C-alpha cells in the first residue's frame, strides 16, 4: 500500500488545485507531441510537462483535460463526487478514500490522446478508433507515472475498465484481479453516462440506471461496488451526510462545472 498519501496528505484543507487564467482551447501541437512522448517514454517526460509532485501533476492534467474536452472534465468531477460517496458506504477511509477520489477525477485523463474527431463522433467508431479509445486507461496511468505518491492512483486508473467476467480492457482481468476502487469508479462512471444525454443515447432515469447496473453485477461490474452503490442510492439525498470533499479543485472562472464536488 502507498503510505505517502494519508488522511492528512497534503497538509491543510484538502488538495487545492487553483487553475486561474486558463482559457478553454484545443491543446496545441507542441503540447500534443509532448503528451505523445509521455505515453511511450518514462515518467521523466510527464514530469517535465506536468510536474513531479501530486500538487503539480494532478491540477496540470485536469487543466489539460478541460482545455481538450470540457464535457469529459465535468463528467470526471461528477464521477469523483459520486465515487467518494460510494467509497464512504464501503468503508474506505483516510488515504484510501483520497486515492479513490483523485483516481476518479483523473480516470479519463488518457483521453487527452483521443482526437476530437473520435471523441465527438456520432456514428460507430472504426476498429482503429476503438483501439485508440481502449488505450486510454494505459495512457492515463502513464501520465501519472514518476510520482511515487500517485502509484496506487495510477493502478486504479489503469484498471477502471476491467470487468469481473474478464471481458474488460486493457488486460481482461477478472473479479479479484483489479482494485475495488477501480470497480467503484466503473459503476459511478456508467451511472453518470446512463443518466446523461449523449449524442448516441437518450438520458435514462436514476432508477432505470440503477436497475441496469444491478442487473450486470458480477459480469460487467464488481459485485461489492454495485452493492455499495445501491445502498447509497436507496438513501434519499436529503438524508445523506453533507461533507466537504477531500479533494478540492478550485476553478474560480468555472465554479459551476465542479459544483458536484461541494454538494
pLDDT digits (tens), the chain, 263 positions: 222 223 332 222 222 333 333 333 334 445 544 555 555 545 566 676 677 777 778 887 888 888 788 889 889 988 998 999 999 999 998 889 989 999 999 999 999 888 888 888 888 899 999 998 999 999 898 888 778 888 899 999 999 999 999 999 999 999 999 999 999 999 999 999 999 877 667 889 999 999 999 999 999 999 999 999 999 998 876 666 656 555 555 443 333 333 332 22
Q: What interhelical angle do 94-105 and 70-89 show, nearest 10?
A: 160
- Is 164 domain-assigned? yes
pLDDT given at position 117: 87
- The domain that holds 142 is classified in CATH as 1.10.3210.10
Residue 15's beta-bridge partner residues?
A: 247
- Is 10 domain-assigned? no
pLDDT given at position 241: 63
Pick left, alpha or beta for residue 146 (phi over 0 → left; psi -120 to 50 → alpha; otherwise beta).
left
Whether the ω angle into residue 10 lies within 30 degrees of 0, i.e. cis, is yes
Domain count, the chain: 1
pTM of structure: 0.79
- Is 215 domain-assigned? yes
- Is 245 domain-assigned? yes
pLDDT given at position 236: 74
- Is 2 domain-assigned? no
pLDDT given at position 17: 32
Please tell me the distance from the alpha carbon of residue 251 to that of residue 127, in angstroms, as a whole number. Answer: 37
Please tell me the distance from the alpha carbon of residue 223 to that of residue 248, in angstroms, as a whole number. Answer: 29
Q: What interhelical angle do 223-233 and 206-215 show, nearest 10?
A: 160
pLDDT given at position 57: 80
- Is 7 domain-assigned? no
- Is 1 domain-assigned? no
pLDDT given at position 196: 86
CA distances to 27, 46, 73, 172, 263 from 67, in Å:
6, 17, 9, 31, 24
In the numeric block, which cell numbers belong to residue 121? 463522433
| Domain around 153 | 15-262
- Is 200 domain-assigned? yes
pLDDT given at position 180: 98
Amino acid at each position: 500500500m502507498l503510505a505517502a498519501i494519508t488522511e492528512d496528505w497534503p497538509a491543510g484543507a484538502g488538495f487545492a488545485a487553483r487553475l486561474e487564467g486558463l482559457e478553454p482551447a484545443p491543446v496545441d501541437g507542441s503540447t500534443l507531441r509532448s503528451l505523445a512522448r509521455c505515453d511511450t517514454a518514462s515518467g521523466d517526460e510527464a514530469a517535465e510537462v506536468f510536474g513531479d509532485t501530486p500538487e503539480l501533476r494532478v491540477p496540470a492534467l485536469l487543466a489539460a483535460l478541460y482545455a481538450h474536452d470540457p464535457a469529459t472534465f465535468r463528467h470526471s468531477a461528477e464521477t469523483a463526487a459520486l465515487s467518494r460517496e460510494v467509497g464512504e458506504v464501503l468503508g474506505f477511509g483516510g488515504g484510501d478514500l483520497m486515492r479513490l477520489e483523485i483516481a476518479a477525477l483523473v480516470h479519463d485523463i488518457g483521453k487527452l490522446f483521443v482526437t476530437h474527431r473520435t471523441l465527438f463522433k456520432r456514428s460507430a467508431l472504426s476498429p482503429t478508433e476503438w483501439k485508440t479509445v481502449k488505450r486510454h486507461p494505459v495512457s492515463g496511468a502513464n501520465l501519472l507515472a514518476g510520482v511515487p505518491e500517485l502509484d496506487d492512483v495510477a493502478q486504479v486508473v489503469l484498471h477502471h475498465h476491467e470487468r469481473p467476467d474478464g471481458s474488460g480492457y486493457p488486460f481482461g482481468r477478472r473479479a479479484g484481479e483489479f482494485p475495488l476502487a477501480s470497480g467503484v469508479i466503473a459503476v459511478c462512471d456508467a451511472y453518470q453516462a446512463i443518466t446523461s444525454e449523449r449524442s448516441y443515447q437518450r438520458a435514462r432515469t436514476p432508477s432505470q440506471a440503477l436497475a441496469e447496473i444491478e442487473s450486470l453485477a458480477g459480469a460487467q461490474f464488481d459485485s461489492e461496488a454495485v452493492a455499495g452503490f445501491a445502498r447509497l442510492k436507496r438513501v434519499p439525498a436529503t438524508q445523506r451526510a453533507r461533507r466537504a470533499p477531500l479533494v478540492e479543485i478550485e476553478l474560480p472562472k468555472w465554479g459551476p462545472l465542479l459544483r458536484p464536488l461541494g454538494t
